[in-house]
Amino acid sequence: MKPIRLTQVLLLAFIMMDCGGKTNVNVYDNFDFNTLSPDLLATGEKVYANSCFPCHTYGTAGAASLFDFKEWDKVAEKGMDVILKSVMEGYQGANGVMPPKGNCWTCTDEEIRTSILYIFHEVKNNRLQSN
C-alpha cells in the first residue's frame, strides 16, 4: 500500500471545509450563486423590486448602486454568511445606514438571502455589459 501524501490529506481537508460552507467564500465563487435557478432569481427580483430598489438602484442614501462594481467586489469578499447578517440586522457602512432587512419586514431569511444573490447576479451582468 502506498503511503498517503501530505498534499493529498491537505487537499481532502480543504475540500471538506468547503463543503461545510463555513468558509468565507467570495460570493462570485459561492455554490449557491453559481447554481441560482430561474425560480430563485425571480423571488430575489421580487424582493429587490419591493424593498431594495429605492436605495440600491441609483445609489440613494449612501447605498451602492448596481453599477458600483468596486463596492460590490469588497462586499463579495465577506462571504454570504456575513452579508446575510448585515442585511438581516441592518448595517452601518462608511457611506450610510441600511435598515434591518433592507426594510422588508415580512421577508424570511431565505427571501433576503435570495435578494442578495439577485443583486450580485445583476451587478455581474451590468459589469459584463459595460466591458
Q: Establish if 49 lies at the interface with ligand HEC (CB under 6 A).
A: no
CB of 6 to ligand HEC, least distance (A): 37
Nearest CA to 115 among 99, 102, 126? 102
Q: Which of 25, 66, 75, 117 binds ligand HEC (CB under 6 A)?
A: 75
Task: Count CA atoms closer than 13 A to 64's CA, side-chain side.
Answer: 20
Q: Which is nearer to ligand HEC, 18 or 109 (CB)?
A: 109
Q: Residues 25, 63, 66, 117: which binds ligand HEC (CB under 6 A)?
A: 63
| Cell numbers for 92 | 452601518
d(CA 13, CA 86): 29
Per CB under 6 A, the segment of 1-9, 14-22, 32-40, 58-66 that binds ligand HEC is 58-66
Tell me the closest approach of the beta carbon of residue 4 to ligand HEC, in angstroms.
Answer: 40
Q: Is the dihedral of CA 112, 114, 116, 118 positive or negative?
A: negative
Which residues neighbour 51 within 8 Å (Cβ) at sequence distance 6 or greater? Answer: 101, 102, 103, 104, 107, 115
Are the C-beta atoms of 64 and 12 separated by less than 8 Å?
A: no
Residue among 18 and 89 whose Cβ is closer to ligand HEC: 89
- Report the interface residues with ligand HEC, using CB under 6 A: 47, 51-52, 54-56, 61-64, 75, 78, 83, 86-87, 91, 93-99, 102-104, 112, 115-116, 119
